Amino acid sequence: MQTDNLELKKLVYLYLMNYAKSQPDMAIMAVNTFVKDCEDPNPLIRALAVRTMGCIRVDKITEYLCEPLRKCLKDEDPYVRKTAAVCVAKLHDINAQLVEDQGFLDTLKDLISDSNPMVVANAVAALSEIAESHPSSNLLDLNPQSINKLLTALNECTEWGQIFILDCLANYMPKDDREAQSICERVTPRLSHANSAVVLSAVKVLMKFMEMLSKDLDYYGTLLKKLAPPLVTLLSAEPELQYVALRNINLIVQKRPEILKHEMKVFFVKYNDPIYVKLEKLDIMIRLASQANIAQVLAELKEYATEVDVDFVRKAVRAIGRCAIKVEQSAERCVSTLLDLIQTKVNYVVQEAIVVIKDIFRKYPNKYESVIATLCENLDSLDEPEARAAMIWIVGEYAERIDNADELLESFLEGFHDESTQVQLQLLTAIVKLFLKKPTETQELVQQVLSLATQDSDNPDLRDRGYIYWRLLSTDPVAAKEVVLAEKPLISEETDLIEPTLLDELICHIGTLASVYHKPPGAFVEGGRGVVHKSLPPRTGSSESAESPDTAPAGVPAADQPSVIPTQGDLLGDLLNLDLGPPVSGPPVATSSVQMGAVDLLGGGLDSLMGDESEGLRSDVGGSPAMGGGSGGFAPAPGTAVPSNTGAPLGSGLGDLFDLTGGVGTLSGSYVAPKTVWLPAMKAKGLEISGTFSRQVGSISMDLVLTNKALQVMSDFAIQFNRNSFGLAPAAPLQVHAPLAPNQSVEISLPLNTVGSVMKMDPLNNLQVAVKNNIDVFYFSTLYPLHILFVEDGKMERQMFLATWKDIPNENETQFQIKDCSLNADSVSSKLQGSNIFTIAKRNVEGQDMLYQSLKLTNGIWVLAELRIQPSNPSFTLSLKCRAPEVSQYVYQAYETILKN
Amino acid sequence: MIGGLFIYNHKGEVLISRVYRDDIGRNAVDAFRVNVIHARQQVRSPVTNIARTSFFHVKRSNIWLAAVTKQNVNAAMVFEFLYKMCDVMTAYFGKISEENIKNNFVLIYELLDEILDFGYPQNSETGALKTFITQQGIKSQHQTKEEQSQITSQVTGQIGWRREGIKYRRNELFLDVLESVNLLMSPQGQVLSAHVSGRVVMKSYLSGMPECKFGMNDKIVIEKQGKGTADETGKSELGSGKQSIAIDDCTFHQCVRLSKFDSERSISFIPPDGEFELMRYRTTKDIILPFRVIPLVREVGRTKLEVKVVIKSNFKPSLLAQKIEVRIPTPLNTSGVQVICMKGKAKYKASENAIVWKIKRMAGMKESQISAEIELLPTNDKKKWARPPISMNFEVPFAPSGLKVRYLKVFEPKLNYSDHDVIKWVRYIGRSGIYETRC
């Protein structure tokens, strides 16, 4: 090690790096030389020593590293400084605490203002990496001054340094559009750099900051124009880089299609492109296909369909089908092209063509059925499940036009058990369809398939579908016809678009692996490193940012946050059960994981119809626990009753009335919490739902705002609740009058009643909701404030109150503190009265105001309350007595919410 | 950032393995071999994710270079780095082959240590690297302090690609404008698509730190000058053509000051020593198509095809095109071909399903013709012959885009030589890219 031969020294150091870990004690002997070398007159040796020391990951050595590193960070030679900057990142990786304690981070920050561009670049890289593992820390304190320094260094440093700086710039959030524009102006020259990574990183910065520029700005248009040529040029790079560029262009095209809309030709596939480039180009071609260029695109695609690579050919054929669905005017040409391809009799081409023709039939019903005959000729050559299933679907769907449909299907039936599930299911459906269309000739066939599916098959899906058909057909053939031959929803135009919120995140990761995989970094990076969620800056000047959704009110505990239900399976079972299960009697058939002591109370609860109050008090606990084991020692759950006379029947009428008045009508009703986001757009393919609950003059409603943040129009909305503790259910269907266009939102007030099925939830006020639209079904759960269930006739007579208070055992009494409330007794009682909590008596005991209050829930449970108010003390004491003590906690929450708002 | 870098031979044996980050274990080496090099199917992507570890690979002849990472790295940068790595190795020891890698084992580790620090690429310009990483071994005491600091300031400085103190007795520079012209033409002679992708390659043997300024007949510049006061520099220099061309897009070597190009559209730089690619560009407007192909295909009955192809050269008669080759595709069921051509040699190549017509040289404004009779085997195949396009190869001594070098000025403030002392050579070569005419 003491040698002055630099080359030899390097080799020794390399050896140390590799073997230090296995022999830490030996490595420690080298420390002295390292420290000595860090003071060598030759800067190359100083840098080498500090670089190597950082790579020796032995704890004992790192301690000795601190002093030399500190010196090297302030070395006069830039080469040493730039090496030391990276060494801080190395040390941080080994011992983060040490780096913070030694103050290296501040020194590193100072290096950002270094005179040497390469030192700046390495310092930026090191700080960015350290900052990534501490997302909260404000390490890279980016402000206009430091940004300016970075932009200056950008012009001078090496290509790699430029990448570090640009990637760092992309994390900055300019404070207004003018700053964004000035940064963009200084970044645009990088678009002509020969290094593709510099270009892509510059594109990332521009794409991100563009979000902040107003579209009316001249500069916005110029910038769009400037972006296209460099992106096209990336396609002349080496194939691996082309691949990275294409994956990114795929994202850019989805985000801002206007940039490359005229550049279709450059994505035409070249004969000697590697396969991965070809497939990506094809994808982008379809995205860019429009009426203007469709002829060219089709000619190309037809060309590709005769290539050799099977995957590529398949994708090309599929692309033709997608063009047909996307550009209506071209559909006819696409179909004839597909027919030409079928004529080639190349097995996989034919199969792929049939699969896409099925989709075209779906999109344009009753238009191209003339081609069915040609398709039928190729029946024998189909050997892939998907193609067979598609063909069977076509035969079943158009059975009335195919004379020998029964023969065709029968031929498939022979080898029924050898088919894949997909084909079996399709065959079953197709034969049932055929039977419904031509009942006379096909009775035997349908019986055969039903028995095959139900008796001889082990597949539960197949068996169940078989049984459903069988029962449908045997009980009500007319209904069966309606169900099986129902009109199908149209298929959407753009398939496999990336969901908008994910797309925005990926735009922030242009050039990186995330953009290559089209996955957020969290999906492939281990641990916390680099998974900081990035998002595009909000567009300035648009109305969206002004009315950002309010966060949950302060008084509501954190658990109140809406949550999206993760396990859909269980819930789905429940929702199904809600539809099909018997409405009143019997214990619930399906049990979900969330239910603790599931109680079916309707049977018993019905008799506790609230005629007079005493009866209501007498027994509101009618049901019996269905899952006794799970709820051992648990007091009986609240009973259910048909709501009292002021409830739902009247409610739905009034609900309509309030629809007209919209949100203004809160004056007469109880407190309404501000709307919170229940279902974020990210989890629901672009549908965002926010809402709140309100009660006005006896009617409960759920006030919703549906916002479409996807790219496609949403329609066919419907809503359904899972069974819940108080039987809340929609009183009317969810009515969205017009389809919801992208970026539009609609406010709906959905009237609710409490006659739905009951199941105890945990927490008690949990409501699981399913919302359906033309895209999918989404599930979320939310907590409703209990005060929406406080009925208007909840005022108890004095004597009654006293008697009941005594009657309820003391262990049912719960005490709560309501803190920081500065109201006096009178305003408290008037405020509470607005939400149907009635003050029965008021006493003044030793300077304290005692309010005695009563309230009644929609299911007839009475809750009695004593509220102690001390004039000097902002904390109230609330004692609640109830026969079903588990509601107390939620009543308390309601109190708190009402009083604090 | 990059966690490790491996070099494999075609069998999947590791030749070089350098790990920069702790999260990359030894098993990563094997994972890549098993899943990519020895994979049964052809690899479908240059980026592979195996057990949350991402592998980027490029292949040079039968050597695999793989960069490994577990983080969300800048993918474009990793590939750029791998290419750079190949360039550096080529510059040091020539062709990248198993033997060369084994022979330069120490050198490669030394390079890897220098150009990649903790996975962050550092200065990777060969010119600079060669000053302190050599195969001879440097003894530190032999260097003076000035020399050492000169090296470090160059490696970290603004001009990392050139070392100071270069001296030539004769200051000379060569400029090659290399273009490839691409065309797709309809049978009626309508241009469906045409573009030129060009490169300007410079070979410089200049002393000191010369400041260069490069000018070409770029439309934007010419128009700017036309408006403003006439700039005299543009007129008396190399090949002053009146015409200007519209450049769609261009990229530059890192030595070019991009901000200056963006604001003034002037190309100024201090060149690396030796050969480098100064710029790449793309044009689509007003392209001079050196050749026009006029096809005539006639089907005579079901078993005979008559093909006549005329090629016309469309450039100054004084210039000569070279290496001309016309490829006329024939149907799959061709049984025999008779060819008559006025110039050159033509042959039917059954294995390629094409008639290949070669002409060694052809002057501008000439025309030549080939006619062929193709006998076909009768088939009951309903499928029509797809008639692939006729393609062409050639080389011409001018730039089909119309690009002209207007000047390349050299200033060296410290040394005593002026622009006039520099010997400058300019050469234009236009080649065919994909040059096709449908028939």
A255 or A487: which leads in pLDDT: A255
Question: If pLDDT is split at 50, 70 and 90, which confidence band does A652 have?
Answer: very low
Q: A674 vs chain B: nearest CA distance in angstroms?
A: 39
DSSP B306-334: EEEEEEEE-S-TT-EEEEEEEEEE--TTE
Say if A125 is an interface residue toward chain B (CB within 8 Å).
yes
- In 10 A of CB A695, how many CB atoms? 25
Looking at the predicted structure, is the pLDDT value of residue A240 above 90? yes
* Whether residue A283 is found in the same domain as residue A312: no
Looking at the predicted structure, is the pLDDT value of residue B298 above 70? yes
The three-state secondary structure class of B251 is: strand
Q: In the block, which residue shows the tokens 């199969």?
A: A351
Q: What is the mean pLDDT of residues A792-807?
A: 82
Question: If pLDDT is split at 50, 70 and 90, which confidence band does B214 have?
Answer: very high
Question: ipTM of this model?
Answer: 0.79
Name which of B45, B73, B193 is nearest A512 (Cβ-Cβ). B73
* Whether residue A118 is found in the same domain as residue A25: yes
Beta strands in A819-861 (DSSP E): 838-845, 848-856
pLDDT in tens, B242-251: 578 899 889 9
Q: B125 vs chain A: nearest CA distance in angstroms?
A: 9
**How many Å apart are CA A211 and CA A213, to the nearest integer?**
6
**Right CATH number for B170-222+243-285+397-435 from 3.40.1280.10, 3.30.450.70, 3.50.90.10, 2.60.40.1170?**
2.60.40.1170
What is the overall mean pLDDT for chain B?
A: 86
User: Quick check: A233 and B277 CB within 8 A?
Assistant: no
Question: Considering only CA atoms, which of A509, A528, A530, A532 is closest in space to residue A519?
Answer: A509
* Whether residue A134 is found in the same domain as residue A20: yes
Question: If pLDDT is split at 50, 70 and 90, which confidence band does B9 have?
Answer: very high
pLDDT (0 to 100) of residue A245:
95
Q: A522 vs chain B: nearest CA distance in angstroms?
A: 9
Residue B322 Cα to chain centre, angstroms = 20
Looking at the predicted structure, is the pLDDT value of residue B337 above 50? yes
* Whether residue A136 is found in the same domain as residue A2: yes
Looking at the predicted structure, is the pLDDT value of residue A102 above 80? yes
Looking at the predicted structure, is the pLDDT value of residue A344 above 70? yes
Looking at the predicted structure, is the pLDDT value of residue A196 above 60? yes
Looking at the predicted structure, is the pLDDT value of residue A884 above 70? yes
User: Quick check: B152 and A80 CB within 8 A?
Assistant: yes
pLDDT (0 to 100) of residue B142:
54
| CA dist A217 → A178, A213, A228, B350 (Å) | 11, 7, 18, 61
**For testing contact with chain B, the best of A159, A342, A509 (most B CBs within 10 A):** A159
User: Quick check: B46 and A194 CB within 8 A?
Assistant: no
* Whether residue A332 is found in the same domain as residue A441: no
User: Quick check: B253 and A155 CB within 8 A?
Assistant: no
Question: Considering only CA atoms, which of A243, A239, A233, A236 is closest in space to residue A202?
Answer: A233
Name which of B42, B123, B143 is nearest A158 (Cβ-Cβ). B123
Q: Is B360 annotated as a binding residue?
A: yes
> Would you call the peptide bond into A174 cis, given omega within 30 degrees of 0 as the criterion?
no
User: Quick check: B282 and A193 CB within 8 A?
Assistant: no
Looking at the predicted structure, is the pLDDT value of residue A101 above 90? no
Looking at the predicted structure, is the pLDDT value of residue B80 above 90? yes
* Whether residue A9 is found in the same domain as residue A129: yes
Looking at the predicted structure, is the pLDDT value of residue B241 above 60? no
* Whether residue A108 is found in the same domain as residue A8: yes
Q: A228 vs chain B: nearest CA distance in angstroms?
A: 9
Q: What is the mean pLDDT of residues B192-217?
A: 91
What residues have CB less than 8 Å from B103, skipping those under 6 apart? B93
Evaluate whether residue A150 is within a structural domain. Answer: no
Laid out side by side, the sheet with B304-313 consists of B291-300, B304-313, B367-376, B334-341
* Whether residue A259 is found in the same domain as residue A335: no
Q: What angle do CA A337, A427, A481 make, to 5 degrees?
A: 100
pLDDT (0 to 100) of residue A608:
41
Interface of A with B in 258-277 (CB under 8 A): 265, 270, 275-276
Q: Nearest chain A Cα to B134, which residue? A: A7
Interface of A with B in 215-234 (CB under 8 A): 229-230, 232-233
Note whether B290 and B249 are within 8 A (CB): no
User: Quick check: B249 and A201 CB within 8 A?
Assistant: no
Q: What is the dihedral of CA A419, A424, A428, A431, to 10 degrees?
A: -40
Question: If pLDDT is split at 50, 70 and 90, which confidence band does B381 have?
Answer: low
Interface of A with B in 501-520 (CB under 8 A): 509, 511-517
* Whether residue A347 is found in the same domain as residue A396: no
User: Quick check: B137 and A8 CB within 8 A?
Assistant: yes
Q: What is the dihedral of CA A47, A49, A55, A61, to 10 degrees?
A: -140
**How many Å apart are CA A469 and CA A480, to the nearest integer?**
8
Q: A250 vs chain B: nearest CA distance in angstroms?
A: 15
Instruction: Return the minimum-mean-pLDDT range out of A17-26, A158-167, A553-562, B27-36.
Output: A553-562
What residues have CB less than 8 Å from A431, skipping those under 6 apart? A396, A409, A413, A442, A445, A446, A449
Note whether A382 and A388 are within 8 A (CB): yes
pLDDT in tens, A488-498: 777 766 667 88
Helix axes A275-288, A294-304, angle to 10 degrees: 150
**How many Å apart are CA A572 and CA A580, to the nearest integer?**
12
Question: If pLDDT is split at 50, 70 and 90, which confidence band does A379 have?
Answer: confident
H, E, C per residue of A363-429: HCCCCCHHHHHHHHHCHHHCCCHHHHHHHHHHHHHCHHHCCCHHHHHHHHHCCHHHCCHHHHHHHHH
| CA dist A535 → A209, A328, A503, A858, B310 (Å) | 11, 35, 10, 44, 59
Note whether A134 and A119 are within 8 A (CB): no
Evaluate whether residue A553 is within a structural domain. Answer: no
Helix axes A6-19, B105-115, angle to 10 degrees: 80
Name which of A78, A197, A201 is nearest B156 (Cβ-Cβ). A78
End-to-end CA distance of chain A: 75
Count structural domains, chain A.
Answer: 6
The three-state secondary structure class of B299 is: strand
Question: Among residues A332, A361, A381, which one ends one of the domains?
Answer: A381
- The radius of gyration of chain B's CA atoms, rounded to the nearest angstrom, is 27
The whole domain housing A408 covers: 384-475
**How many Å apart are CA A701 and CA A691, to the nearest integer?**
10
Query: For domain B2-128, which architecture applies?
Result: 2-Layer Sandwich (3.30)
| CA dist A107 → A35, A75, A419 (Å) | 20, 12, 69
User: Quick check: B42 and A167 CB within 8 A?
Assistant: no
A348 or B236: which leads in pLDDT: A348
Q: Residue A772 belongs to a domain with what CATH number?
A: 2.60.40.1150
Q: What is the mean pLDDT of residues A707-724?
A: 82
Note whether A233 and B282 are within 8 A (CB): yes
What residues have CB less than 8 Å from A195, skipping those under 6 apart? A159, A162, A163, B80, B254
**For testing contact with chain A, the best of B80, B84, B116 (most A CBs within 10 A):** B80
User: Quick check: A158 and B248 CB within 8 A?
Assistant: no
- In 10 A of CB A554, how many CB atoms? 9
Looking at the predicted structure, is the pLDDT value of residue A657 above 90? no
Say if A3 is an interface residue toward chain B (CB within 8 Å).
no
pLDDT (0 to 100) of residue A495:
64
pLDDT (0 to 100) of residue B315:
92
pLDDT in tens, B104-127: 888 899 899 989 999 999 988 888
Question: Considering only CA atoms, which of A304, A227, A234 is closest in space to residue A262?
Answer: A227
Name which of A160, A192, A193 is nearest B122 (Cβ-Cβ). A160
Q: Are strands A718-721 and B320-329 parallel, antiparallel or unpaired?
A: unpaired
Question: If pLDDT is split at 50, 70 and 90, which confidence band does A650 have?
Answer: very low
**How many Å apart are CA A801 and CA A882, to the nearest integer?**
12
User: Quick check: A512 and B72 CB within 8 A?
Assistant: yes
Residue A166 Cα to chain centre, angstroms = 29
pLDDT (0 to 100) of residue B320:
93
Say if A174 is an interface residue toward chain B (CB within 8 Å).
no
Name which of A87, A158, A244 is nearest B79 (Cβ-Cβ). A244
Q: Nearest chain A Cα to B184, which residue? A: A265
Note whether A778 and A683 are within 8 A (CB): yes
Q: What is the mean pLDDT of residues A286-310?
A: 86
**Right CATH number for B289-394 from 1.20.1630.10, 3.10.180.10, 2.60.40.1170, 1.20.59.10?**
2.60.40.1170
Instruction: Return the minimum-mean-pLDDT range out of A45-54, A569-578, A668-677.
Output: A569-578
Evaluate whether residue A595 is within a structural domain. Answer: no
| CA dist A160 → A184, A370, A610, B73, B407 (Å) | 20, 60, 78, 13, 31
Name which of B58, B71, B106 is nearest A530 (Cβ-Cβ). B71
Q: Which residues of B touch A85 (CB under 8 A)?
A: none
Run of H or E residues at A254: helix A239-255
B380 or A847: which leads in pLDDT: A847
Amino acid at residue number B223: E
pLDDT (0 to 100) of residue A137:
66
Q: Is B358 annotated as a binding residue?
A: yes
Which percentage of chain A shows pLDDT scores above 70? 83
Q: What is the mean pLDDT of residues A4-9?
A: 78
User: Quick check: A44 and B158 CB within 8 A?
Assistant: no
Amino acid at residue number B33: R
pLDDT (0 to 100) of residue A292:
87
Q: Evaluate if pTM is beyond 0.90.
A: no
User: Quick check: B160 and A155 CB within 8 A?
Assistant: no
Question: Considering only CA atoms, which of A42, A92, A41, A43 is closest in space to residue A66?
Answer: A92
* Whether residue A11 is found in the same domain as residue A132: yes
Amino acid at residue number A480: A
Tokens of A450: 């039903």
Tokens of A589: 């058939």
Phi/psi zone of residue A260: left (φ > 0), alpha (ψ -120 to 50 degrees), beta?
alpha
**How many Å apart are CA A466 and CA A455, to the nearest integer?**
9
Note whether A465 and A433 are within 8 A (CB): no
B146 or B436: which leads in pLDDT: B436
With the C-alpha atoms ordered A857, A861, A862, A864, is the resulting torsion angle positive or negative?
negative
Q: What is the dihedral of CA A222, A224, A228, A231, to 10 degrees?
A: 120
pLDDT in tens, A516-567: 999 998 888 876 544 556 777 766 544 343 333 443 344 434 334 444 444 3
Q: What is the mean pLDDT of residues A667-681?
A: 75
Question: Considering only CA atoms, which of B65, B56, B50, B55 is closest in space to residue B10?
Answer: B65
Laid out side by side, the sheet with B191-205 consists of B249-252, B274-283, B191-205, B172-185, B423-437, B390-396, B320-329, B354-363, B345-349
* Whether residue A847 is found in the same domain as residue A864: yes
| CA dist A543 → A137, A546, A669, A742, B119 (Å) | 31, 5, 30, 15, 44
Q: Is B285 annotated as a binding residue?
A: no
Q: Which residues of B touch A189 (CB under 8 A)?
A: 258-259, 261-262
Phi/psi zone of residue A706: left (φ > 0), alpha (ψ -120 to 50 degrees), beta?
beta
Which percentage of chain B shows pLDDT scores above 90? 49
Note whether B100 and B40 are within 8 A (CB): no
Q: What angle do CA B152, B158, B164 make, to 5 degrees?
A: 60
Strand partners for B322: B361, B395
- The contacts found for B80-85 with CB under 8 angstroms, 24 or more apart, are B80/A159, B80/A195, B80/A196, B80/A197, B80/A241, B81/A160, B81/B2, B81/B116, B81/B121, B81/B124, B82/A240, B82/B56, B82/B57, B82/B58, B83/A238, B83/A241, B83/B58, B84/B115, B84/B121, B84/B124, B85/B5, B85/B115, B85/B124
What is the overall mean pLDDT for chain A?
A: 79
Same topology, domains B170-222+243-285+397-435 and B289-394? Answer is yes
User: Quick check: A159 and B71 CB within 8 A?
Assistant: no
Q: A38 vs chain B: nearest CA distance in angstroms?
A: 15
Q: What is the mean pLDDT of residues A766-772?
A: 85
Q: Is B349 annotated as a binding residue?
A: yes
User: Quick check: B80 and A159 CB within 8 A?
Assistant: yes
Q: What is the mean pLDDT of residues B268-273?
A: 91
DSSP A265-330: GGGSPPTTS-HHHHHHHHHHHHHH--TTTHHHHHHHHHHHTTSS-HHHHHHHHHHHHHHHHH-GGG
**For testing contact with chain A, the best of B78, B108, B156 (most A CBs within 10 A):** B156
Question: Among residues A753, A784, A815, which one ends one of the domains?
Answer: A784
Q: B46 vs chain A: nearest CA distance in angstroms?
A: 6
pLDDT (0 to 100) of residue A511:
92
Looking at the predicted structure, is the pLDDT value of residue A568 above 80? no
Q: Is B11 annotated as a binding residue?
A: no
pLDDT (0 to 100) of residue B439:
78
Question: Among residues A489, A507, A524, which one ends one of the domains?
Answer: A524
Q: Which residues of B touch A129 (CB under 8 A)?
A: 1
Name which of A54, A265, A270 is nearest B193 (Cβ-Cβ). A265
pLDDT in tens, A593-621: 334 433 344 444 334 434 444 443 444 44
Name which of B42, B72, B251 is nearest A194 (Cβ-Cβ). B251
pLDDT (0 to 100) of residue B135:
65
The domain spans of chain B are 2-128, 170-222+243-285+397-435, 289-394
* Whether residue A55 is found in the same domain as residue A83: yes
User: Quick check: B152 and A44 CB within 8 A?
Assistant: yes
Looking at the predicted structure, is the pLDDT value of residue B259 above 50? yes
**For testing contact with chain B, the best of A5, A9, A36, A44 (most B CBs within 10 A):** A44
**How many Å apart are CA B17 and CA B114, to the nearest integer?**
15
